Amino acid sequence: MNLVFLGPPGAGKGTQAVDIAKERGICHISTGDILRKAVRDGTPTGLKAKAFMDAGELVPDDVVVDIVTDALAAPDCASGWILDGFPRTLPQARALDAGTSRLGLPGVQLVLFFNVPDDVVVSRLSGRRMCRACGASFHIDFMPPAAEGVCDKCGGQLYQRDDDRPDTVRNRLAAYRKDTEPLVSFYRDKGLLRDVKGDAGPGDVRRFIDDILGEGL
Ligand code: AMP
């Protein structure tokens, strides 16, 4: 099963992708997570990406396309994948098609579009807290951890991402509207897109996704 999770930042793509990938034994490729690790590790990719990420802008296409092409070729992705936060531009979507066919791999089978209004995005991101150790995501009001500042899943320390602060969130939303939203009609025209009403709670969103994935995948 090869899936793309598409939608604005804070739409709940990562929360759902982590659980679904684990349950179905497929790999979860989050370009945001891979880039944040590269920045932390100070790799050449991280050094290229850091200024764009700090500003809430998109990292250049060639950087993220290389990351995803390498990840898809890894053996643990052979049984399927969820791409979370990629593609984010039309050139990335075309490069994904070209890359999978060059590697002789099956391409995108389904795109789940997490549709969430801007005011919900802003309130979700401003209260979001991430686990430093396992990447799990919480919300101080809507999905609080059992103990403040501590990850329920692994006991790791929770923190607020720098780019979840209000002015960076506005830039991320602007980048989404300009560069990423055109992918909705790109994939709808190919007959691959399914709409997910993303502004419900995580349990309801999950049931909605399971109904969609039950359609023969
Ligand atoms: P995310 O965690 O998916 O919200 O990504 C965090 C940041 O990483 C974004 O604001 C971008 O700067 C960068 N990024 C992640 N994925 C991509 C992508 N597919 N294309 C360009 N930039 C990306």
Q: Is 12 left (phi over 0), alpha (psi -120 to 50) or beta?
A: left
- Ranges of beta strands (E only) in 104-185 are 110-115, 128-131, 137-139, 158-159
Q: Is 40 a catalytic residue?
A: no
* 176 Cα to the center of ligand 1, angstroms: 10
Q: What's the rounded Cα separation, in Å, for the pair 191 and 63?
A: 28
- For ligand 1, pick from 37, 48, 88, 137 the residue to mutate: most ligand atoms within 8 Å of CB: 88
pLDDT, tens only, 56-110: 999 999 999 999 999 998 888 999 999 999 999 999 999 999 999 998 889 999 9
Query: Which residue in 50, 161, 188, 206 is the catalytic one?
Result: 161
Q: Which residues line ligand 1 (CB under 6 A)?
A: 9, 31-32, 35, 52-53, 56-59, 64, 85-86, 88, 92, 163, 172
pLDDT band at 217; cut points 50, 70, 90: low
Is 13 an annotated catalytic residue? yes
Per the confidence metrics, is the pTM higher than 0.85?
A: yes
What atom in ligand 1 is closest to the CA of residue 53? 12
What residues have CB less than 8 Å from 134, skipping those under 6 apart? Answer: 151, 153, 154, 156
Total residue length of the chain? 217
Domains detected in the chain: 2-116+172-214 (3.40.50.300)
